[in-house]
Structure 1
Amino acid sequence: MTRAQAAAAEPSSFEIRMVDVGGQLLRVGLKQGDKRKPALLMFNGIGANLELAAPFFEALGDREALIFDIPGIGGSPAPLLPYRPSTLAALAHDLIVQLGYERVDVSGVSWGGGLAQQFAFQFPKACRKLVLVATSAGMIMVPGAPNVLMKMASPKRYLDRDYMRSIAAEIYGGAFRRNPHLIERHAAGMRGSTQYGYALQLLGMLGWTSVPWLWMLQQPTLILSGTDDPLIPVVNAKLLATLIPNARLELVDDGHLFVVTDPERTARMVEAFLDEA
């Protein structure tokens, strides 16, 4: 890919830069916005590169937001050693400090929802509000169907767009079942995930759960869950809403990736929550 092609491929909502955080290079996407509002730090799903968040970021209006490729995913080089959620939370905290943010709102989608919970617990003063999207409490969860989970054990869907098209409706549900165009749009934003980087993400969450300390989270928390989610059934969102003291649950008539299939509606829900006093 030439430099011109690479520039054309970048989402218009992002300023993309490489940032060295304590020796780990991170590919960071930053959407400029109103400095009077807390910026939104977003953690993506497993294997997902930051470009996949572009439609949601564009729908956020004037809110500043940032996201980074997890080491080993997208454009962030793989680390030398495996990591745990606490390692990544500390890396994210160092990143926001380096970028000049003292306090942010934090959101996480699916796998990234676990990391968002870890960040809020580990750095409570740096996290004002918490948004958990299509996620669970980790190891202690009600899993989706075994045939769906098996397809999630490999990054093949990020490496083979035809394979993604063939399984998207089954593993993500919701609007993907009804509108093939959405699958094409999602596949077009994928930048690939290495086997090693994907394995690091799977291993990083192995045995992790937030259940023992969810009761300690003091941040106002919005939990969003799709009613047709084959991967993470709604009961997991209800568990989070029960265990987090200052949480509320809102259901979305869609599948696992409603933040992708309906970014405008998702952004309105998130912004309304973040703008509350």
Structure 2
Amino acid sequence: MENVGGRVLRVARWNLDKPSDHPPILFFNGIGANIEAVAPLAEELSDRGFIMFDMPGVGQSPEPTIPYNAVTMSWTATQLLDRFGIDTVDVMGISWGGAMAQHFALQHGARTRRLVLIATTAGMIMVPGNPAALTKMANPRRYIDPEFMAQHFETLYGGALGNELAADGKPASGKSQHMSRLTPPTPRGYMYQLLAMIGWTSVPALPFLKKDTLIMMGDDDQIVPLINGKILNSLIPNSELVVVEGGGHLFLLSHKDKSVKAIRDHLDAPDDGELSQAA
């Protein structure tokens, strides 16, 4: 637990005390998701530092008393980096956290080297996903009711983490492993996280974002359709779009090897000018 910018946050750090040729990664998680949900990615990227935190009221971070927005949480993230003596980071975010990653890079460009946007959008100006998935996504029962989560897992996240139920009727291994890592947010924490991005969009600012940016999208994502990645790719000058075939909203976990390779290729590429545009 760290007291940062007037807030108490649960913070996770990997390998910050080890020498590395790479800047650390600052990761922003999806809505309602706790640190454990993305811990497997941090463990894969063991050759560099990795830092992330539970949003207020999410995971084990205490419930917020007042609302927050992208501006205040980006500033809070800089205070956290200062706490650990980190000057420059590669910024990564998934889904809701992808919007936070965009905002951080725009607000704190001097501290951002490269950007990775995963299964995300430009905010309020977006193409919405499958209505069946969106209504279930907004239902907090997916965090507190295992039967609800198991029943609607494929609608929410696609079937790549395991389409079949085990013989005992419980979720298959991929589903159960993911579900076991989730901790339900508090109702206020979940609501404040939803409210934080109301009215927010990065569209007017993205043409001025000069950071080398990797955009990763799944072509079977029912929550954030692929077209949203193409919109980001068209607006961000130095961006590359990688499409994960058969990937749902959780392709970062279901297609871990391909995802990690794409992330490494992007973050470790030489600084030799603009990235080529990808269709």
With the length of structure 2 as denominator, give the TM-score of the two structures.
0.90
1:259 aligns with 2:252: yes
2:67 is the alignment partner of 1:82: yes
Q: What does residue 188 of structure 2 align with?
A: 196
1:138 Cα deviation after fit = 0.6
Deviation at 1:91, TM superposition (A): 0.8
Cα RMSD, aligned residues only: 1.2
How many Å separate the matches in 2 of 1:165 and 1:178? 10
Identify the range of structure 1 (57-66 vs 193-202) with the bigger mean alpha-carbon deviation: 57-66
Alignment-mate amino acid for residue 213 of structure 2: T
Corresponding position: 1:19 with 2:2? yes
Q: Report the alpha carbon displacement of residue 159 of structure 1 after superposing the two structures with TM.
A: 1.4
- SS of 2:199's partner is coil
Alignment partner of 2:28 out of 17, 28, 43 = 43
- AA in 2 matched with 1:191: T
- Contact 2:33–2:59 at 8 Å: present in 1 too? yes
Counterpart in the other structure of 1:128: 113
Structure 1: 4+ residue segments shifted above 2 A: 33-36, 176-180, 262-265
- Give, in whole Å, the separation in 2 of the partners of 1:114 and 1:84: 11
SS at match of 1:187: helix
Note the C-alpha offset of 1:174. Answer: 4.3
Deviations along 1:155-205, whole A, 9 cap, x unmatched?
211112222111111111140363532111101111221111110111111
Determine the structure 1 residue equivalent to 2:136: 151
Match of 1:221 in 2: 213
Q: Which residue of 1 aligns with 2:273?
A: none
Partner SS state of residue 249, structure 1:
strand
Aligned match of 1:239: 231
Structure 2: distance between partners of 1:177 and 1:255: 11
CA apart distance, 1:209: 0.6
Deviation at 1:78, TM superposition (A): 2.0
SS at match of 1:25: strand
Classify 1:174/1:276 alpha carbon distance in 2 versus 1 (closer, same or farther; 3 Å): farther
Q: Secondary structure at the match of 2:38?
A: helix
Q: Residue 274 of structure 2 corresponds to which residue in structure 1? A: none
Structure 1 contact 137–210 (Cα < 8 Å) conserved: yes
**Cα deviation, residue 212, structure 1:** 0.8
Alpha-carbon deviation of 1:48?
Answer: 0.2
- Contiguous gaps of at least 5 residues in structure 1: 1-17
Q: Which residue of 2 aligns with 1:211?
A: 203
**Which SS does the other structure have where 1:107 is aligned?**
strand
Code of the aligned partner of 1:194:
T
1:260, distance to aligned residue in structure 2 (A): 2.0
In structure 2, the residue corresponding to 1:36 is in which secondary structure? coil
What is the letter of the counterpart of residue 45 of structure 1? G
Matched, 1:31 2:47: no
Bigger fraction of residues in helix = 1
Task: Measure how far apart 1:220 and its partner are.
Answer: 0.2
Answer yes or no: is the 8 Å Cα contact 2:162–2:175 preserved in 1: no
Matched, 1:111 2:96: yes
Do the aligned partners of 1:41 and 1:106 also contact (CA within 8 Å) in 2? yes
CA contact (8 A) 1:224 1:251 kept: yes
Once structures 1 and 2 are overlaid, which stretch shifts more, 147-156 or 198-207?
147-156
**Secondary structure at 1:30 match in 2:** strand
Q: Which residue of 2 is the match for residue 273 of structure 1?
A: 266
CA distance in 2, matches of 1:68, 1:122: 19
**Is 1:61 aligned with 2:46?**
yes
> What SS class does the counterpart of residue 272 from structure 1 fall into?
helix
* Superposed displacement of residue 34, structure 1: 3.9
